[in-house]
Chains A and B, each alone.
Chain A
Amino acid sequence: MTERIGQSGSRDAPSSRAGMPDPIASIWRAVGSVVDPEIPMISIVELGIVRDVARAGDEWVITLTPTYSGCPATRVIETDVRAAVAAVSDASVRIVTTLSPPWSSDWIAPEARRKLCEAGIAPPHPSRATGIEPRPIAFRPAAVRCPNCGSVRTQELSRFGSTACKAQYRCADCLEPFDYFKPY
């Protein structure tokens, strides 16, 4: 027997699942305690990479989707998910990786965007649609707001930053450098 909750469930805060059967809610809570080691201020549920939690026979099936194809945190996250579920359930855990639909930074929960900002990371602008549109010559993204002082007089220092998901910016007003979570 397989109990499932919808795909949309992974984008909501755990509290909104109060009505669902207790065991699944407790597994969601456990999985929701796991963080991405490179952005530890938000949980992997808030990040939008937990696509499904289901019971299949005598095991829990946790479906994850990677952020970037080469994200080195993927293996650590899987290990942490196993440990978190094992802490609340005796059933074995199977991790399934899915690529479709591909993760988008648009799936980051609103609450998590606020937490990113508080931690000094400018949250991502909306992602462009999939496919390729006619390519303009100048690729300047929309103004990125400084997470420290709120100024939009900011400047891109590098298209890549400390992790695969971030770019480096600097504020022209408060002069602080900061990370910008790239739209994906």
Chain B
Amino acid sequence: MRANRQLFDYLLRLADNGLVLAQRLGEWVGKGPVLEEDIASANVALDLLGQARLWLAYAGEVEGRDAPPGRTEDQLAYFRYGADFRNLLLVEQPNGNYADTIGRQYLFDQWHVLLLAELAASRDERIAGIAAKAVKEARYHVERSADWVIRLGDGTDESHARMQAAIDSLWMYTGEMFALDATERALTDAGIAANAAALQAPWYTAVQSVFAEAMLAAPADDWMQGARSRGGKQGVHTEHLSRLLAEMQVLPRACPDAVW
């Protein structure tokens, strides 16, 4: 019973990262800086949303083991409040300018690809199957976002300044990605979750090499928001999430039986 609760919670963490980031990327549709990037944002969003659906469907099934039938993916996406969301604080941050969006995407993608590669070896076959598929998509995402970090960082004085400012302001949300709480520790010990702490060194190495190419510097300040078991993974969010959810959920909440 407890194991199911922990697994459900962990699956929400995986699902909500994709769901929330897809919603953010969707905000660019129709007003991307160039047409190609408009399309790219929508495509990445689509991949992340597809992955989120797979995680949410499994989460609902796990929930149903103790309380049948368990919620559907739509119920989980549209009828949970902010405190029940388990995404990283990083992905709920506003789009800002395009350097902010790219910075957020790259810091996430670089972690996501490492996480999914580990999860592809999970002892939970369902998790392993979803991760083995999703990692192919994440690998493509990180190539694009790293390219853009380099292009903006090593671009004009203006684009460099904005890219550096984006990294400086988002950096404090990255510590959460590597923080293990009781839930993740138990699932890691069981061979189900990926050991998030072990991802930090390869993540930092990869980020440093992209930053070097991009003429950017990693912030020296190592204070991290949410890294001490009081962050997005525990349901403690920034105010930005509730505004995002208000928009994402308004239609199903107003018309719960709407079909289209």
Contacts and interface: CB of A to CB of B under 8 A. Distances in A.
Interface in A62-118: 66, 68-72, 99-103
A62 B63 CA distance: 28
A94 B9 CA distance: 31
A132 B113 contact: yes
Best-surrounded residue of A101, A137, A160, A184 (most CB of chain B within 10 A): A160
Contacts of A158: 36-37, 39-40
A7 interface: no
B132 A130 contact: yes
A159 B140 contact: yes
Contact of A131 (B46, B117, B128): B117
Nearest to A163: B43
Interface string B34-52: 0011011011111111110
A152 interface: no
Contacts, number: 91
Contacts of B123: none
Interface in A51-66: 66
A131 to B, nearest CB: 6
A69 B139 contact: no
Contacts of A101: 132
A69 B137 contact: yes
Interface stretch (B68-76, B86-94, B141-149, B171-179): B141-149
Contacts of B49: 70
B135 interface: yes
A168 B36 contact: yes
B180 interface: no
A138 to B, nearest CB: 9
B192 interface: no
A70 to B, nearest CB: 3
Contacts of A168: 36
Contact of B40 (A71, A160, A162): A160
A145 interface: no
A130 B113 CA distance: 11
A157 interface: yes
B193 to A, nearest CB: 18
Contacts of B227: none
Contacts of A99: 54, 129-130, 132-133
A184 B135 CA distance: 10
Shortest 4 CB-CB contacts between residues of A and residues of B? A70-B50, A69-B50, A158-B36, A70-B46
Given A69-B50, A159-B143, 4 more contacts: A68-B137, A69-B53, A71-B50, A158-B37
18 contacts: A66-B133, A68-B50, A70-B48, A99-B54, A99-B133, A100-B125, A100-B133, A101-B132, A102-B136, A103-B133, A131-B120, A132-B117, A139-B143, A157-B36, A158-B36, A158-B40, A164-B43, A168-B36
